[in-house]
């Protein structure tokens, strides 16, 4: 309990250091996942554990947010002209669900732009959770109100199956960096460096 209390006090009283941490990042880097954090590295085998997200899930969350905002503004503009593209109950659901998800994302993300402290990728995870929750909201809305005929619905379903499969494939690809096993060769580690800004550790022989 003494250690826990000490940790909490240090978190509350910690001020920004003069020199930035190696894995500190800007909030702008979090949206596009241009940063990662190395947590553990085995000096002999080269096995390692990173905080690094699923690229496809990250991108899908951003797309869902963009689609929601665009559709919301479109519906709002049309409603001001007395044109209702969706039923009133669907509109209220759209506004409330989006307000919760987009609002939750903004509340948990935007304050970091004015914080005078060292920030890291893990600070974005609460905001990202709200973004991910928006994905099924947008998908359900597209299915119910924009895919009106059976053919687009079937195509949309096939697209969803492909998307889920791709998300799982990306997860399996990066699982060695998530769980620290199996150990990867230097070539395999380089292949996982999908972005130049990622700091994937490679053991020197």
Check residue 13 and give its pLDDT: 61
Domain ranges across the chain: 27-191
Check residue 150 and give its pLDDT: 57
Check residue 179 and give its pLDDT: 93
**Count of residues in the chain:** 205
Q: Are 55 and 173 in contact (CB under 8 A)?
A: no
Burial of 104 (0-12, 13-18, 19+ CB in 10 A): middle
Average pLDDT, the chain: 87
Closest CA to 203 of 187, 181, 180: 187
pLDDT digits (tens, 9 = 90+) for 99-121: 999 999 998 999 888 877 888 99
């Amino acid at each position: 309990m003494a250690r826990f209390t000490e940790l909490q006090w240090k978190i509350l009283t910690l001020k920004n250091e003069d020199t930035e941490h190696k894995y500190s990042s800007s909030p702008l880097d979090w949206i596009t996942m241009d940063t990662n954090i190395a947590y553990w590295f085995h000096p002999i085998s080269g096995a390692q554990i990173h905080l690094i997200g699923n690229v496809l899930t990250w991108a899908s969350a951003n797309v869902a947010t963009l689609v929601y905002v665009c559709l919301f503004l479109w519906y709002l503009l049309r409603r001001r002209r007395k044109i209702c593209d969706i039923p009133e109950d669907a509109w209220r659901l759209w506004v409330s669900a989006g307000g919760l998800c987009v609002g939750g994302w903004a509340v948990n993300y935007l304050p970091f732009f004015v914080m005078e402290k060292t920030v890291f990728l893990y600070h974005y995870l609460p905001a990202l959770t709200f973004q991910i929750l928006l994905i099924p909201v947008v998908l359900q809305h597209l299915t119910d109100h924009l895919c009106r005929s059976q053919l687009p619905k079937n195509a949309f379903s096939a697209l969803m199956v492909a998307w889920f499969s791709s998300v799982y494939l990306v997860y399996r690809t990066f699982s060695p960096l998530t769980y620290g096993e199996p150990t990867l060769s230097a070539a395999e580690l380089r292949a996982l460096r999908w972005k130049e800004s990622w700091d994937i550790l490679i053991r020197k022989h």
